Structure 1
Amino acid sequence: MQPDSMSISAFLKARRAALDPADAGLPPVHNRRRVPGLRREEVAQLAGISVDYYIRIEQGRAQGISPPVLDGLARALRLTGDEHAHLRNLAEPPAGHDRGHLPVVRPQIRRLLDAMDPRVPAHVVGPGLDYLAWNRLGADLCFDLETLPPDRRNAPLLVFLHPERRSLHPDWDDVAAETVAALRSETGRHPSHPRVRDVVAELLDSSAEFRELWQRQQVREKLTGRKRIRHPEAGVLEVTYETLQLPVDEGQTLCTYTVEPGSPSEAVLRRIAALRQTSPAA
């Protein structure tokens, strides 16, 4: 696949504008900067490439950017590991056969979900951050996930286009920013996947909040972390999430949630489990 030159351009411009010259190790300047962030000349110098070559990269006119140059740009712009990986994905799109339909979760993975400890909510996420499968407690934690059509069981769509679900996230602003950063990462990992493109296009068209966050060009893999969830019937709990890539199943990730033993959150989780013990699995 060809590099996504326009996405590389937008990403580099945003990261360059967001970086404080002092954080990049540059000496202070006495004349006032017209725009925030680093100048192109400074990025080129820090990356060890010519100014002309960096300008061509940022304008989307460079082809075949080598790994050492990408590494130099990552160092110059102080990219995080997730941002560095995203830049490589844009410049060297992963090989694969992106398909438009929702992926199929293998029966073995469904059995794994059902066999998990009944106190561990879990689900499988696919390209574009679609919820593909879950265990009973995972469905309850996402509240009413099973009542939605399959193409609406999508984390970004639920966060931005379902106002009634905002109450599920006491820290909605943080969740929204993290979700956008994770979806941005998806566009680099699955650059030609129709589902990823459709989700981004719908959100850009329908949500001003999403558009504002999308323009920041922030990238972050949601591999592990903590968040609070307000279940409408059981209360608020704080969970730790872990995500595991399923290497046999392209683009699929297993997500699990746990709570601190003996904590108030564990009591809330038990109440959730008790509310719908007979809820069918996906």
Structure 2
Amino acid sequence: MRMDGVNPLAQFLRARRSVLEPGDVGLPRSHSPRRVAGLRREEVAMLAGISADYYLKLEQGREHNPSTAVLAGLIGALALDADGAAHLHRLARPAVGRAAPPETVSESLVGLITSMASIPAHVVNRRLDIIYVNPLGQMLSPGFRVGNNLVKLTFDPGLPRDAYWRLTAPRAVAYLRASVDPHDDGPAMASLLNDLRAMDPEFEGMWQRHETRMPGGHPSTFQHPEVGSIELRYQTFNLPGTGGQALGMYVAAPGSPSAEKIQMLSLLAAQRPGEGDRGTPRKTGGTTSA
């Protein structure tokens, strides 16, 4: 299966080549204007240590499974970071006969997350749909409900397209790229992409950049009606054996005003005990970021 109906490896190579300039990869800068933006195919091939003809086959989708040595060369030639390199390997090594991932959360994990009374947390699937959220997570944002999608929340038409959004929206799209199966063009993934394109025309441009990024301490700001502005760090942890589920936690700096506000929300959440949201999806708004 192939996401977007095209060869994802070829699409990725073309997109990443187009955003690089010779100086980005140690080549002499060109003093004459180039016909198209980015590196030439021949330059990428030279840097990767492969023939220009073989690289052309990769970009045209006529070669699907480059060797480990070729991938190593491409990582250097395209100046990929760790997230980009991991994504390149996923594109070149599609899983065969992968079973559909579960959409439920194990009871043991539910117990663990529910016990984290002072940390807002949720579990998402590969498409970043929320499939579980603890009580404090529900208190933090009305958007944190089972069935909502983190990227859709980011592209909510009601959110202002301010400087904060300009920072977090591309990051959320890159998180989606890094999380989903790059060979998935199934109906659920197609529906999500269509919805996001309809929500904001800027999504398509961000999606076609093929940037990948896993959250690692990224700042997230929430405007809460009861306690005001809360600044947290979003941390994710992949959950082995779950088909791509990830645990996301919003952590306040110890001793900070935001930590005090989270404690206040924790007390409010304790007055409404429950196991967290695992029920029927509800359409809600709210300010959040992935």
**Structure 2 residue 259 is the aligned partner of structure 1 residue 266:** yes
Aligned residue number for residue 181 of structure 1: 174
Runs of 5+ unmatched residues, structure 2: 278-290
Shift of the alpha carbon at 1:98? 4.4
Letter of the 1:136 partner, please give it.
Answer: P
Aligned residue number for residue 242 of structure 2: 249
Shift of the alpha carbon at 1:193? 5.5
Letter of the 1:260 partner, please give it.
Answer: A
Aligned residue number for residue 130 of structure 1: 129
The answer (yes or no) to whether the contact 1:124–1:252 under 8 Å persists in 2 is yes
Cα distance in 2 for residues equivalent to 1:232 and 1:123:
21
Change (3 A) 1:271 1:99: same
- Taking structure 1 as the reference length, the TM-score comes to 0.87
Deviation string 1:16-74 (CA, Å, 9 cap, x unpaired) is 11112112110233332222221111000000000111111111111321121111111
Count of matched residue pairs: 274
**Structure 2 residue 22 is the aligned partner of structure 1 residue 29:** no
Q: 3-state DSSP class of the match of 1:28? A: coil
The answer (yes or no) to whether the contact 1:224–1:241 under 8 Å persists in 2 is yes
Change (3 A) 1:259 1:2: closer
Cα RMSD of the aligned pairs, angstroms, is: 2.6
Aligned residue number for residue 229 of structure 1: 222
Runs of 5+ unmatched residues, structure 1: none
Alignment of 1:39-118 (within 5 A): 39-95=40-96, 97-99=98-100, 103-116=103-116, 118=117
Q: 3-state DSSP class of the match of 1:237? A: strand
Cα distance in 2 for residues equivalent to 1:207 and 1:64:
35
Alignment of 1:8-19 (within 5 A): 8-19=9-20
The answer (yes or no) to whether the contact 2:123–2:246 under 8 Å persists in 1 is yes
Change (3 A) 1:37 1:170: closer
Letter of the 1:67 partner, please give it.
Answer: T
Change (3 A) 1:268 1:170: farther
Q: 3-state DSSP class of the match of 1:119? A: coil
The answer (yes or no) to whether the contact 1:240–1:257 under 8 Å persists in 2 is yes
Shift of the alpha carbon at 1:95? 4.4
Aligned residue number for residue 217 of structure 1: 210
Letter of the 2:157 partner, please give it.
Answer: P
The answer (yes or no) to whether the contact 1:5–1:90 under 8 Å persists in 2 is no
Change (3 A) 1:188 1:127: closer
Cα distance in 1 for residues equivalent to 2:226 and 2:265:
8
Deviation string 1:112-137 (CA, Å, 9 cap, x unpaired) is 01112x22111111120011112111
Change (3 A) 1:20 1:232: farther
Letter of the 2:124 partner, please give it.
Answer: V
Change (3 A) 1:85 1:188: farther
Aligned residue number for residue 172 of structure 1: 165
| Structure (1/2) with the larger helix percentage | 1
Change (3 A) 1:268 1:163: farther
Cα distance in 1 for residues equivalent to 2:68 and 2:11:
19
Aligned residue number for residue 119 of structure 2: 120
Letter of the 1:84 partner, please give it.
Answer: A
Shift of the alpha carbon at 1:94? 2.9
Stretch moving more, 196-205 or 105-114: 196-205
Deviation string 1:138-179 (CA, Å, 9 cap, x unpaired) is 111232534xxx44x11112221x333x26x98222221111
